[in-house]
Structures are given as C-alpha cells and as structure tokens.
Amino acid sequence: MDTYTPHNTRQDYLDAVRAFALLLGIVFHACLSFLPVYIGWAVMDISTSTVVGVFALVSHSFRMALFFLLAGFFSHMSYHRKGGAVFLKSRLLRIALPFVLGWILLRPLLVFAWVMGAQSMRGDVSLWPALQEGASSMLAASQTLLTGTHLWFLYYLLLVTLSVLCVRALTVRFQPAYRLLSKSLDAALAWLCHSSLVVLALAVPTAGCMWLMGQWGLDTPDKSLVPHWPVYCIYGGCFTLGWLMHRQSDLIPAFSRLSWQKLLVALTAIVVTILTSPYERQPGHPHIVYIALAFKFSYSVMMWSLIALMIGLFRHYLDRPNKVIRYLADASYWLYLIHLPIVIWLQIAFAEVSWHWGIKWALVFGIAIGLSLVLYDLCVRSTFIGATLNGQRKNRSLFAVG
C-alpha cells in the first residue's frame, strides 16, 4: 500500500494551470513566423520583432515542463482513484489512441502546410503539388514518424507514464524496502518543497540534462521514435515530481508559494538567459563554455521559477469553481491536438500582409483558438471523441440545443 495523504477532490486552479500550459503552446506556435531569425519554421512573416524572440525563449522554457508536472500529479490521483488496471486502460485511450489517430489525420495536413509555407516564401504557391506531397507523407519511413508534428508530447507522456508504472510495480514487490523508500522520498520532497532553495535545487539536474542537448535551450524531440534521453529525463522528472507531490496535500501549495524572493530569482534568471542567448551563434567566442554554462543554469532556474510562480498565481486568483475556466480546461486537450495546421495556414495567409506583427500574431492565435473551440463544441464535447479525451461526454455549451 502507498503511504500518502489522499486529496482526490477537484482542484480547480490546477485544471486552469493545465489549460493555460496548453493554450500557451498555441500562442507559442503562432509566434514562430514572426521571429527575426529564420529557424526552419513553415513560413517567415514580412513583419518580425525581437520581442517575439524573447517571448518564444521564455515561454518555451516552462510550458511543456509545467504540463508534464501536472500530468504526473493528476495521474497519481487517477491511479489511486481508479486502480492500476483501469488507469492503464484510460491512459492508453487518452494518450496512445489520440497519438495514433492524430498522426494519421494531422500529419498530411501539416506536411501540406509546410510545403505551402515554403512555396509562399519563394513566391510560387501551387496548391495541388502541396496536397499530393501531404498525402504521400503517409508512406514515410518510421524514422520520420514524428517529424513535422507536435504530437511528440503524447509519445513522451506515454513513455514516462509506462516508466513510472514499471518502476512502481518492481519496487512494490519488496514491501519493507518500498515502505522505507516511500517514507524517505516523502520526507525529502517535503523538505525540498518547503525550502526557499527548491528552485535552485531542481535547476541543477535540469541544467545537467540541458548540457547534453543539441542546442542551448530545450530541444524539441520530434525527429525520431528513439527517445531523446536528456528531454526524456527532464519531462520524466517533471512528471515524477508531480506524481510524488500528490502523495502529500501540502506540497503543491508549499512549492508554489508566492514571494518577492521567488519573483526576483525568476526575473534575474530571465535577464541572464536573454543576455547570454545571442552567444549561441558565436561558437568561436573565447569564453563560450562559461557563457553556455551560465545560460543553461539560468534557463533551468527560469523554468522552475516560472512553473512555481504560475501555479502560485493560479492558486491565489482562481482557486474556485468557474464555468468558463472549467470549459476551457475540458477543451484545452482538443485545442492543442488540432491547432497546428490551422495556425500554419493562418500564418501563410497573413505572411505577406503589410500589417504590424502584433496584430497578425493576435489574429493567428485568436482565430485558431476560436475555430478549434467551435469544432470542439459542435463535434467533440458531446461525442465519443469528447468521452475519450475528457473521460466522459458533456453537453454542448456554445451551441446548446433545446
């Protein structure tokens, strides 16, 4: 038996944080065509800004890590509420099934969008060849399975979940050692979460993993089914931390406690990260190793500081039932799954329009979220798709009948 303090009541602010992390991902993808440096994205807009680069750097550092931490927290809750067998079945339905079906349905659309974006930048758009290439991508070799899609997060979520369940199944067989290990982990985590050094302590192993990555920031592991082990360790660590935090009801509040010190640490880390990031393009700099070390550590501190602060802000302001937040929390998984083709098509449509980048960026993510919400309410929420993604069918809200 687990020795944990159960607290299975719905915590509205954590649902809101999870929705925020996924919606932030949509805003993040919507900004990539407005970066001042071409990064290999589908299209590059004629209006760009360094402000967008700063937003991309900061938001990318913590949004998916925050999602994995909350996924671990809610997974532990679900595991002990439903039991191991039912939990595993639900994870396969809610993670593996959307991953497979999402790839089948979305990959051709994304490849089509990528081809159209490249044609747009050359000034030679041809719809039919782009459609043909999108359709033929279904026959791509397995080593390119994840390439060009955003569904890698489901693949890693499934890997991490199965890893945690396997470790638990192996250790629980040896009850005396398991109880001792559980008590030791609980005590260590309780001390850590209540400590003012929690952010710095978590940043050290994170920075170690980041040192093994191909770029200075967090890599996106969307090139192969072979796990990118540094990314796996970071997101797996976030998931495991969330899993263990659910065992004691006071850990999330302690970890996310708001303070001026935590805010100052976050702001300092953000400034250092922004100031050191340009040196990634200067590999010949005589002090490049030390600058890279400073960047990776400050990036890790920024990541954990923002995770803690975001949870704390939502706990302070949204720790109460709210129908709108509840609806967005239910819809957020679908929104994130479906958004990317819509975002890229909109970016292509606005790329040559001579408007300010801020206006176009807002239109891209605003229209993408709006269209995805309409599809969710009409075609998902009250159907078997909604039951798969949310655990149960729910009545329409935007287009309620009768």
Q: What percent of the chain has pLDDT over 90?
A: 71
* pLDDT surpasses 60 at 78: yes
pLDDT at 102: 87
Give dist(CA 220, CA 72) in Å, integer. 20
Q: For residue 302, give the nearest of 263, 348, 350 by alpha carbon.
A: 263
20 or 182, which is more confident? 20
Domain locations in the chain?
12-390
- Checking if the pLDDT of 241 tops 60, the result is yes
Q: Name the residue among 24, 14, 22 with its Cα closest to residue 59.
A: 24
Lowest mean pLDDT among 108-117, 201-210, 222-231: 108-117
Flag whether pLDDT at 15 surpasses 60: yes
The answer to whether 113 and 345 have CB atoms below 8 angstroms apart is yes
| Residue whose structure tokens are 């990064």 | 39
* Residue 134 pLDDT greater than 60, yes or no: no
Better-scored residue on pLDDT, 61 or 180: 61
- Residue 344's CB is within 10 A of a number of other CB atoms, namely 26
Give residue 5's pLDDT. Answer: 47
At 264-286, the pLDDT tens digits run: 999 999 999 999 999 999 999 99
Residues of the chain above pLDDT 70, percent? 90
| Nearest partner of 194 among 230, 274, 248, judged by Cα | 248
pLDDT digits (tens, 9 = 90+) for 21-46: 999 999 999 999 999 999 889 899 99
pLDDT of residue 6 exceeding 60: no
Residue type, 128: W
Place of tokens 């909109």: 346
List the structure tokens of 60.
């990318």
User: Is pLDDT of 141 > 50?
Assistant: no
Average pLDDT over residues 338-367: 95
Q: Give burial (CB, 10 Å; 0-12/13-18/19+) of 393.
A: middle
Q: Please state, in angstroms and as integers, the Cα–Cα distance from residue 40 to each residue in 13, 28, 218, 376, following that order.
A: 36, 15, 16, 30
Quote the pLDDT of residue 132.
58
Residue the block writes with tokens 């937040």: 325
Asked which of 16-30, 191-205, 214-228, 298-312 is least confident by mean pLDDT, the reply is: 214-228
The C-alpha atoms of residue 351 and residue 349 are separated, in whole angstroms, by 6
Given a cut of 90, is residue 191 above it in pLDDT?
A: yes
- Count of alpha carbons within 13 Å of 61, Cβ hemisphere only? 32
C-alpha to C-alpha distance for 15 and 382, rounded to whole angstroms: 20
What's the pLDDT score for residue 123? 64
Candidate from 18-22, 110-114, 158-162, 209-213 with smallest mean pLDDT = 110-114
Give the closest residue to 146 by CA, choosing from 232, 72, 227.
Answer: 227
Per-residue confidence band for 9, with pLDDT thresholds at 50, 70 and 90: low
Q: Which of the pair, 334 or 174, is modelled with greater confidence?
A: 334
How does pLDDT run across 84-118, given as a tens digit for each residue? 899 999 999 999 999 988 888 888 788 777 777 77
Q: Which residues of 105-122 are buried (b: 16+ CB within 10 A; e: fewer)?
A: ebbbbbbbbbbbbebbbe
Rounded distance, CA 369 to CA 27, Å? 9
Please report which confidence band the pLDDT of residue 305 belongs to, taking 50, 70 and 90 as the band edges.
very high
- The region of weakest confidence among 25-39, 58-72, 139-153, 238-252 is 139-153
* Contact by Cβ (8 Å): 217, 303: no
The DSSP secondary-structure symbol of 377 reads I
